Amino acid sequence: MIHSLFIINPSGDVFMEKHWKSVISRSVCDYFFDHQRKASSPEDIPPVIATPHHYLISVYRSSMFFVAVCTTEVAPLFVVEFLHRVVDTFEDYFSECTESIIKEHYVVVYELLDEMLDNGFPLATESNILKELIKPPNILRTIANTVTGKSNVSSTLPSGQLSNIPWRRTGVKYTNNEAYFDMIEEVDAIIDKSGSTVCAEIQGYIDCCIKLSGMPDLSLSFVNPRLFDDVSFHPCVRFKRWESERVLSFIPPDGNFRLMSYHIGSQSIVAIPVYVRHSLCLRESGSGGRLDITLGPKQTLGRTIENVVLEIPMPKSVLNCGLVTNQGKYTFDPVSKLLVWEVGRIDVTKLPNIRGTISLQSGSPPVEANPSINVS
C-alpha cells in the first residue's frame, strides 16, 4: 500500500520523509516537481501521478504537499483519504499544521506516522486512540517532562483499540459533564448575471464537543429528518437505528469530532440570505474600470447577517484597485489578483457598498467578461 511519505513545502524542499517499507530515494519527487512546474497553481497538480515504477498520490493542505509513494495497485481514494486523516491528526495534535510546527515536533510527528501506518496499511487512526499512545504536546507537559524526565509516550496500553468501541477510550472522567453541538450550514449557490439562482444547495455539519464521563450512549432526534437528502456519519453512529427510526444513536468519542454531515440538495428550495447588486466594467481606455457593488439581505427570517466576506478573483490584467467602502475593509492582492472585501454585519438601513476605479495594465488584452463574485 503506502510505501513512503514525503512532506514538501511550497518552495519545493522535502523537509520530512518517512518510509514504511524499504527506502525509496527522494529523487522520486522529481516527477512531482515536474508536474508542479507545469501547473499554474498548487491546486492544479493532479492528485495521482504515474511514474515508471511508482505512483505518487498527493494532497495539498495548508500550503504543504503530502506525497505518498505507492508501488502497487491501491485504491487512490484510500490513500488520499488517509493523507487527509494524517493532516487532520496533526491539526488535532498541534492545533494547526504548518511547516514550522511539523519541524518543531518532528519526533511526535514521526511517532504518529509510525503508529498510524504499519507496513503501509493504516493501523490506528482514531485520534482518541492515538492520544493515548502518544500524548499531544503542550507547554505544561513539556516543562514537566524536562523536570521529571518522563516521556510523552504513554506506557499504558490503549484500551480503546481493544474494546468494543474503538473510538472511545475507557475511564473518561469529568467533573463537569457537558456536551456542545455546533450546527454549521453552508449554502452554495450559483447565481447568474441577472440574479436568478442557477442552482443552490445546502451542506450542513454537526460538530460536537462532548465531555462526558464513562460510556455515554446518546440519542439525538430531529424535528423533520425528511429534509435531509443525504447524510454521512461518524462511525460511532448506528446505521440501523437511523434507517428505522431516523434517530441518531451513538456512543461519542471523547472530545471534538464531526458527528454527521448532511446535504440538502437542489430539489428543495433554498433561500439565499444575501443578494448582490453589481456593476463592474473593465475597459482599457483611460482610467481603467469601475466597480460598484451593493449587498443586501434577503429572506433572513429576521436574523442579522454577520461576517460577510466578498471575494472577486480579478482577471490577470488588473493592476490595482482604488476603492472606497462605506463599511468594512477591502484588500487586493496584486499577485493572486484577488479582491477581498470583509463586510462584516449587514445593516438593513445602510446597505454596504463598495465603489471605485480599477487600474488596468496598459496594453493588455481587454477583458471580455466580468469576473464572478464569491460571497461567503
Partner 1 sequence: MLDSNKDNLKLEAMKRIIGMVAKGREASDLFPAVVKNVVSKNIEVKKLVYVYLVRYAEEQQDLALLSISTFQRALKDPNQLIRASALRVLSSIRVTMIVPIVMLAIKDAAADMSPYVRKTAAHAIPKLYSLDQDQKEELIQVLEKLLYDKTTLVVGSAVMAFEEVCPERIDLIHKNFRKLCSLLVDVDEWGQVVIINMLTRYARSQFTDPNLQDVDEDEESKRPFYEDENEVDEEQQEKRAPTLDPDHRLLLRSAKPLLQSRNAAVVLSVAQLYHHTAPRSEVHQVAKAMIRLLRSHREVQDIVLTSIAATATRRKVMFEPFLKSFFVRSSDATHIKLLKLEILTSLATESSVGIILRELQTYVAAHDPPFVAAAIQAIGRCASNIKEVTDTCLNGLVSLLSNKDQAVVAESVVVIKKLLQTQPSAHREIIIQMAKLVDSVTVPQARASILWLLGEYSERVPKIAPDVLRKMAKTFTSEEDIVKLQVMTLAVKLCLTNPKQTKLLCQYVLQLAKYDQNYDLRDRARFLRHIIFPADAESGGPTRLSKQAKKIFLAPKPAPVPESHFKDREQFQLGSLSHYINTKANGYQELPPFPLEAPDPKARDVETEPQVMEQAPLFTAKKVSSKKDSKFYSDTESPEDESEEDENSSDEDDDDDEEEEDSSSDKDEEEDDNEDEESSGLEEKLPKKVVKSNAKPKSDEEEEEDESDEDDSSSESVSDSDSEDESSEPSSVPKKQTRNAKPAKESTPVVKPKSNLDLLLDLDDVSPAFTPIMTPSLGGFLTPMSTPSSQVKTQLFPDIQV
Which residues between 77 and 106 bind partner 1 (CB under 8 A)? 77-78, 80-82, 84, 106
Name which of residues 214 to 243 contact partner 1 (CB under 8 A). 214-224, 227, 229-243
Shortest Cβ 72–partner 1 spacing (Å) = 4
3-class SS letters over 41-85: CHHHCCCEEECCCCEEEEEEECCEEEEEEECCCCCHHHHHHHHHH
Residue numbers 115-134 binding partner 1 by CB under 8 A: 118-119, 121-123, 125
Q: Please, what is the minimum distance in Å from the beta carbon of residue 199 to partner 1?
A: 4
Asked if 296 touches partner 1 (CB under 8 A), the answer is: no
Edge to edge, the sheet with strand 338-344 lists 329-333, 338-344, 308-313, 374-375
SS3 of 29, please?
Answer: helix
266 is a contact residue toward partner 1 (CB under 8 A): yes
Query: CB under 8 A: which stretch of 93-101, 203-211, 287-295, 328-336 binds partner 1?
Result: 203-211
Closest contact distance (angstroms) between CB of 312 and partner 1 is 10
**140, 118 contact by CB (below 8 A):** no
Site for partner 1 (CB under 8 A): how many residues? 156
Report the SS3 class of residue 35.
helix
The identity of residue 209, as a single letter, is C
CA-CA-CA-CA dihedral for 210, 214, 217, 218, to nearest 10? -30
Site for partner 1 in 129-188 (CB under 8 A): 149, 151-153, 155, 157-159, 161-166, 170-188
SS3 at position 230: strand
The side-by-side arrangement of strands in the sheet containing 274-281 is 274-281, 289-297, 353-360, 318-325
What residues between 6 and 65 interact with partner 1 by CB under 8 A? 14-19, 21-23, 26, 40-41, 43-44, 46-48, 50, 55, 58-61
Looking at the Cβ atoms of 37 and 173, the one nearer to partner 1 is: 173
Nearer to partner 1, 219 or 331 (CB): 219
